[in-house]
Structures are given as structure tokens and as C-alpha cells.
Amino acid sequence: MLRIPWTAKRTNISILEQLRINNRLSTLCYKNVLSYFGHIGKRLPSNMYKLILVGKVAGKRPRGRSPRRWSDQVKSHTGLPITEAIKKAEEQDGRL
């Protein structure tokens, strides 16, 4: 696009400013994840999707690092536990 050689020692931020890119892809993804979470959070407690979101699987988990779950992403973006985030989504119009 700009044909900037790697020897120019420019930062990613300066290139993004030159291209006038304000929204990062990661922030758009975070926004969509939280929007969908609010959509699911407003459903009835007996809804299958909401049960899957809140539910836990009984038994032992395998060795090694635990996988990053969708609920972990919501927890890290909102700074709230899942149960509180669901209550907040039920109270409001879906935005956290």
C-alpha cells in the first residue's frame, strides 16, 4: 500500500495514522462479542443458548492449559463475572 521498507523503522501506530485508520479490527470484534452476549443475556433463563453460556460440564478436565472460552473473553472485556454481566444485560437494553 505505502511501500514502506522495513529499514524505515516506522511504528505500526504511525502507519495507521498515515492511513487514517481509526478503528482497529480487535475493537470491532470485541464490540460484536459484547453485542451478541447482550442479545443472549436478554433471553429467558430456560433458553438453550443461555443455559450453554452459564452451564458447566461435570467431571475432570484434561491436563495442560485450559482453553480460552467465549465466556472468558466476555469476562476480560467487561471486567465482571459472567453472572453479573448477564444480570446487567437483562436489566439494560443489551449494552454492557
9 inside domain: no
pTM: 0.60
**If you count them, how many residues does the chain have?**
96
Number of domains in the chain: 1
**Alpha-helix runs per DSSP H in the chain:** 12-18, 25-41, 48-54, 70-78, 82-91
3 inside domain: no
80 inside domain: yes
Q: Does residue 94 contact residue 31 with C-beta atoms inside 8 Å? A: no
Instruction: Calculate the CA dihedral of residues 45, 50, 51, 56 and round it to 10 degrees.
Output: -130
4 inside domain: no
2 inside domain: no
12 inside domain: no
Mind listing the pLDDT tens digit of every residue in the chain (96 residues)? Answer: 788 888 999 998 898 889 888 888 888 888 888 888 888 888 887 888 877 777 777 888 888 888 878 788 888 888 888 888 888 888 876 455
Lookup: cell for 34: 459484547
16 inside domain: no
91 inside domain: yes
Cα 40 to its chain centre, rounded Å, is 14
Q: Which domain holds residue 77?
A: 25-55+68-96
